[in-house]
Amino acid sequence: MEHIGSAHTQAELELLKAAARQKPAAGQGELDLGLSGLAPRQGGPLPITSSRMGHLWDALEHAYRVLGFEAAAGDPVFRGLVLARIIEPTSKLDSARVLEEVGVSAPAYRTVTRRLPVFAQEDFRRKLAAVCARQAGLGPASLVLYDVSTLYFETDAGDGFREPGFSKERRLEPQITIGLLTDHTGFPLMVEAFEGNKAETLTMIPTIQAFMAAHGLPDVTIVADAGMVSEANKKAIEAAGLSFIIGSEDPPGAVRHHRLAGATPRRRDPGRARLYPALAGRADRCPP
């Protein structure tokens, strides 16, 4: 900090302000823009007609292309919606404002609504899931995680899809249930949407079957605790021909009884084994 001086009149104050403005640039030359021969503009400085968040937008566009979404989607409207919601999660209508603030052209809202049915098509979504799988490098021994969440809507009436149900946010409005598959790092692989009043346990099998169909997987092994997999889901898993490991709340004595009764780990066909049941968090108490 530096004391510039004291002023007793308005004129002296303006002189001190002018001197203070020159202090930060002391010893630095000024860039000659070649404007000395131009007539002074009437009415003040030149107006700013537009601005662009160049570094932010360029980085997001680069990541979008590296992940393969540009080639898979091939739709500038979809790209604008995705990147706008990364910058500021908001509605489809308000995404236009976000893009305008960034400094890029925004599609008209009617254009967005016309493109939404295309984005909802199974083929379009599978293309996105395929590039996500390539980015994650899925292989024969890949670990895939699954969880669900809910999204509510600002409305009081359901429509068969948006329906009141068990809300993660303790909301009473109609909602939908979202099932998300990720790799072990949390990178998203596939997302599915279900009715808002559909139980979480009933969303797992359809999502896994869609994932297997998208990537041509002959088999997966489902590992879950007893709370996630209901009795109906166990039968559905068996009906789908999938392997599974289920955490059980049975005491060690019950496990021993199952083993004596012939329910020890058994091989159904080459390359596919099933453990049923297993102890959840009680490996030290499990009989040999």
Identify the pLDDT of residue 38: 64
Q: What local confidence, expressed as pLDDT, does residue 271 receive?
A: 38
| pLDDT score recorded for residue 85 | 93
DSSP letter at 52?
-
State the average pLDDT for the chain.
79
Q: Which pLDDT belongs to residue 232?
A: 74
State the amino acid at position 57 in one-letter form. W
Strands (DSSP E) found in the chain: 144-152, 175-183, 188-195, 221-224, 243-248, 266-269, 272-279
**Residue 47 DSSP symbol:** P
Return the beta strands (E) in 140-187 as ranges.
144-152, 175-183
Q: What tens digit of pLDDT does each residue of 136-158 get?
A: 887 777 788 888 888 888 888 88
Residue 97 confidence (pLDDT): 93
How confident is the model at residue 222, as a pLDDT? 82
Is the pTM of the predicted complex or chain greater than 0.85?
Answer: no
Note whether 53 and 103 are within 8 A (CB): yes
Which pLDDT belongs to residue 257?
A: 53
Cβ-count burial 189-211 (b if 16+ within 10 Å, e if not)? bbebebbbbbebbebbbebbebb
Of 22-31, 76-85, 124-133, 255-264, least confident by mean pLDDT is 255-264
State the pLDDT confidence band at 98, using cuts at 50, 70 and 90: very high
Tell me the residue length of the chain.
Answer: 288
78 — pLDDT class (breaks 50, 70, 90): very high
- Tell me the per-residue pLDDT of 167-223, one tens digit each, with 9 for 90 and over: 877 888 899 988 888 888 888 888 888 888 888 777 888 888 888 887 777 778 888
Q: pLDDT exceeding 70 applies to what percent of the chain?
A: 81
